[in-house]
Amino acid sequence: MKKLFVKTYGCQMNAYDSAKMADLLAPLGYAQTDAPDGADMVILNTCHIREKAAEKVYSELGRLRTLKAEKAKAGGQMLLAVAGCVAQAEGAEIVARQPAVDLVVGPQSYHRLPEMIARAAREHGHVLETDFPALEKFDSLPAPMESGISAFLTVQEGCDKFCTFCVVPYTRGSEESRSPDAILREARQLAEKGAREIVLLGQNVNAYNGEDWSLARLCDAIAGIEGIKRIRYTTSHPRDMGDDLIAAHGENPKLMPYLHLPVQSGSDTVLEAMNRQHTSDDYRRLIERIRKSRPDIALTSDFIVGFPGESDADFEATLRLIDGIGYATAFSFKYSKRPGTPASTMRKQIPEDVKVARLDALQKLLLKQQYAFDDSQIGKVVPVLFEKRARDQHQLMGRTPYLQPVHVHGDVSLLGQVADVKIEKRTANSLHGALLQERRA
């Protein structure tokens, strides 16, 4: 058995890809380990979305070079691979900056890893693969070898939206949807391996259009798979929120009342400069329609502060939008200049101290809303899907329909089951409650 260490940065799609890389390498004798020391192969599955994320990779590579040298001294070999979006964006530059790297593989070509490893052994040099062979990758991936209670399933990749701040269209390529057949097969395989919740993934997941199926139709078909109790999807774009998907939130009982619908900014001037192609009022109206279909839906979003040209008034418009909508939780970032994107050369870049102050104000407001939402659950009885043992071994961790983590005292036989829990209190990152044993599903 050879030891494989995979470190994942960034989004859920990278987490999905990392699991697939491990599955691909298992037939070659690689078994996953949880530390890089002494590993025969290390893969860094990287993220390029913000500068900090990309820079972390180079400092990690510096540490790995030392481990690799130690292994070589002891007569062994450590293959060092960089996968993901930094690999796609920087390609050969990675090897120039860190010659200890053996393999560089983009997010659309990692199915070729086994042959790349063979080539590296044959040619004793660096091997690079950063093609976009469209959907060839998915056809070459093995069936999942195992599954958690909640499982990711990538249904759509890439992006044609070209928001002016974002590298995704360049690193992940254009929008491509997998066929419904392939997705349903994988969902059934995951259910057989123990998945009770499927999280459908895509950079623009609600733009899904495989063989002209919509995402709503796909969710209906997945709801029919034995064992699957819950369905979620992420990340969506406001422009792709179709009528049938909105209706599905009211009609498909397995589709959870939770929607991550990033708006980025509440200022129409900034939204236009970002090329989001909708106004803040378009977004407000959309939320109104979604809430009509599913009044209790938990909403989340992404926000960028300090986009080039963002004035105090623009920023206040974002705070107003947040105030008006009321989010269950949200992600927020300081604008980060990405090479090759239109926003990186825009005039009126915002100074760091202004970005820091705006992020701080925005996060305070979002946290207040998050606590208010979590507190609104106290005293209620909610169905919780139990996913794993909590760190305190006598407790289980599960999630409400709104994705909030809940800790309860309970038996491991509850894992994979949905049971009613009375919510009693909130701590900083979690809800706590007690089981009502009467109803299990």
Query: Where do contacts with ligand SF4 occur on this chain (CB under 6 A)?
Result: 159, 161-163, 166, 168-169, 203-204, 237
Choose which of 36, 257, 262, 308 interacts with ligand SAM (CB under 6 A): 262
The residue from 204, 206, 318, 370 that contacts ligand SAM (CB under 6 A) is 204
CB of 125 to ligand SAM, least distance (A): 33
The angle, 0 to 180 degrees and rounded to 10, between the axes of the packed helices 280-293 and 312-325 is 10
Site string for ligand SAM, 290-319 (x = CB under 6 A): ------------x-x---------------
Strand 150-154's sheet: what is its strand order?
A: 150-154, 197-201, 230-234
Q: Residue 143 CB, nearest distance to ligand SAM (Å)?
A: 27
Binding partner selected for residue 49 from ligand SF4, ligand SAM, none, CB under the kind-specific 5 to 8 Å limit: ligand SAM
SS3 readout for the chain: CEEEEEEECCCHHHHHHHHHHHHHHHHHCEEECCCCCCCCEEEEEECCCCHHHHHHHHHHHHHHHHHHHHHHHCCCCCEEEEEHHHHHHHCHHHHHHCCCCCEEECCCCHHHHHHHHHHHHHHCCCEEECCCCCCHHHHHCCCCCCCCCEEEEECEECCCCCCCCCCHHHHCCCCEECCHHHHHHHHHHHHHCCCCEEEEECCCHHHCCHHHCCHHHHHHHHHCCCCCCEEEEECCCHHHCCHHHHHHHHHCCCECCEEECCCECCCHHHHHHCCCCCCHHHHHHHHHHHHHHCCCCEEEEEEEECCCCCCHHHHHHHHHHHHHHCCCEEEEEECCCCCCCHHHHCCCCCCHHHHHHHHHHHHHHHHHHHHHHHHCCCCCEEEEEEEEECCCCCEEEEECCCCCEEEEECCHHHCCCEEEEEEEEECCCCEEEEEEEEEEC
Which is closer to ligand SAM, CB of 337 or CB of 389? 337
Of 109 and 235, CB closest to ligand SF4? 235
Count of residues in contact with ligand SAM, rule CB under 6 A: 18
Partner whose binding site includes residue 162, from ligand SF4, ligand SAM, none (CB under 5 to 8 Å by kind): ligand SF4
Binding mask 148-187 for ligand SAM (x = CB under 6 A): -----------------xx-x-------------------
Pick one of ligand SAM, ligand SF4, none as the site partner of residue 315 (Cβ within 5 to 8 A by kind): none
Q: Smallest distance from the beta carbon of 294 to ligand SF4, in angstroms?
A: 23
What mask, x for binding ligand SAM by CB under 6 A, covers residues 318 to 357?
---------------x-xx-x-------------------
Bond from prior residue into 235 cis (ω within 30 degrees of 0): yes
Provide, rounded to whole angstroms, the least separation between the CB of residue 208 and ligand SF4. Answer: 14
Nearer to ligand SF4, 155 or 159 (CB): 159
Least distance (Å) between residue 231 CB and ligand SF4: 22
Residue 371 interacts with which of ligand SAM, ligand SF4, none, CB < 5 to 8 Å by class: none
Minimum Å gap between C-beta 342 and ligand SAM is 11
Query: For residue 83, which of 58, 36, 46 has the smallest C-alpha distance?
Result: 46
Task: Give how far the C-alpha of residue 8 lies from the chain's centroid of Cα atoms, to the nearest Å.
Answer: 11
By C-beta, is 214 or 264 nearer to ligand SAM? 264
* Binding to ligand SAM, residues 37-66 (CB under 6 A): 49-50
| CA-based end-to-end distance of the chain | 40
Closest CA to 336 of 320, 350, 315: 350
| Closer Cβ to ligand SAM, 220 or 314, answer by number | 314
Partner whose binding site includes residue 304, from ligand SAM, ligand SF4, none (CB under 5 to 8 Å by kind): ligand SAM
Estimate to the nearest angstrom the gap between the alpha carbon of 276 and the chain centroid. Answer: 20
Smaller CB separation from ligand SF4, 169 or 309? 169
* Min CB(163)–ligand SAM separation in Å: 6
Q: Interface with ligand SAM includes 85 (CB under 6 A)?
A: no
> Going residue by residue from 92 to 131, which x/- string records binding to ligand SAM, judged by CB under 6 A?
----------------------------------------
Q: What is the binding site for ligand SAM (CB under 6 A)?
A: 11, 49-50, 165-166, 168, 203-204, 235, 237, 262, 264, 302, 304, 333, 335-336, 338
